[in-house]
Amino acid sequence: MSERILTCIGCPMGCMLTAVLENGTVTSVSGNTCRRGDDYARKECVAPERTVTGTVRVANGSAPVISVRTASPIPKDKVMEAARVMASTAVSAPISAGDTVIANLAGTGVALIATRGCEAR
């Protein structure tokens, strides 16, 4: 049995949550003021996820970089790896907002998509 203390991000209250874990599953949550705190702690302790945003370089574009995001949240422990992949990725212009930049980002099965377009130079 172990305990984890975390801050709920559900609203500005920022309740201090204490989750009790047994064999990798959350058995109880305390410190929350509402249901959302309970849900958050269960998800965050077992399978935390984050939407990742950033930029990738554009070859022959009217701008040096375009902004990108993951199509859906990816596991939190993949975030830095995703960042390294993005840093070494370049696309070529023209590209439109919504285009897929990488189909499977860092082995997560989630796509990286452009959030703004860029014309060719």
Partner 1 sequence: MMREVQLAIIGGGPAGLAAAIAARESGVQDIVIIERDRELGGILNQCIHAGFGLHTFGEELTGPEYAARFIAQVRALEIPCLLDTMVLDLSEDRVLTVTSRKEGLQQIKAGAVILAMGCRERPRGALNIPGFRCAGVWSAGTAQRLVNMEGMMPGREVVILGSGDIGLIMARRMTMEGAKVKAVAEVLPYSGGLKRNIVQCLEDFDIPLLLSHTVVDIHGKKRLEGVTLAQVDENRAPIAGTEQYIPCDTLLLSVGLLPENELSSSAGVSLSPITGGPVVGDDLATSIDGVFACGNVLHVHDLVDFVSQEAKQAGESAARYLQQHTQIGQRTELRAVNGVRYTVPQHIDLAHMGEEVTVRMRVGQPYRRAAICVYADGTLLRRLPKLVLAPGEMERVTLRRDQIPAGTKEITFCIEEGETK
Picked from ligand SF4, partner 1, none, the partner binding residue 36 (CB below 5 to 8 A depending on kind) is ligand SF4
* Contact residues for partner 1, defined by CB under 8 A: 6-9, 11-14, 33, 50-55, 57, 63-65, 67, 69, 76, 79-80, 83, 87, 97, 115-116
For the CB of residue 113, give the shortest distance to ligand SF4 in the complex, in Å. Answer: 29
The residue among 22 and 77 lying less far from partner 1, judged by its C-beta, is: 77
Length in residues, the chain:
121
For the CB of residue 45, give the shortest distance to ligand SF4 in the complex, in Å. Answer: 14
The residue among 11 and 83 lying less far from ligand SF4, judged by its C-beta, is: 11
Q: DSSP 3-state assignment of 62?
A: coil
For the CB of residue 36, give the shortest distance to partner 1 in the complex, in Å. Answer: 12
For the CB of residue 27, give the shortest distance to partner 1 in the complex, in Å. Answer: 23
Helices (H), the chain: 35-46, 79-87
Determine whether 5 is exposed, middle or buried from the number of CB atoms within 10 Å of its CB (0-12, 13-18, 19+). exposed
Sign of CA dihedral 39, 109, 60, 83: positive
Picked from partner 1, ligand SF4, none, the partner binding residue 37 (CB below 5 to 8 A depending on kind) is ligand SF4
Letter string b/e over residues 68-92, b meaning 16 or more CB atoms within 10 A of that residue's CB? bebeeebeeebbeebeebbeebebe
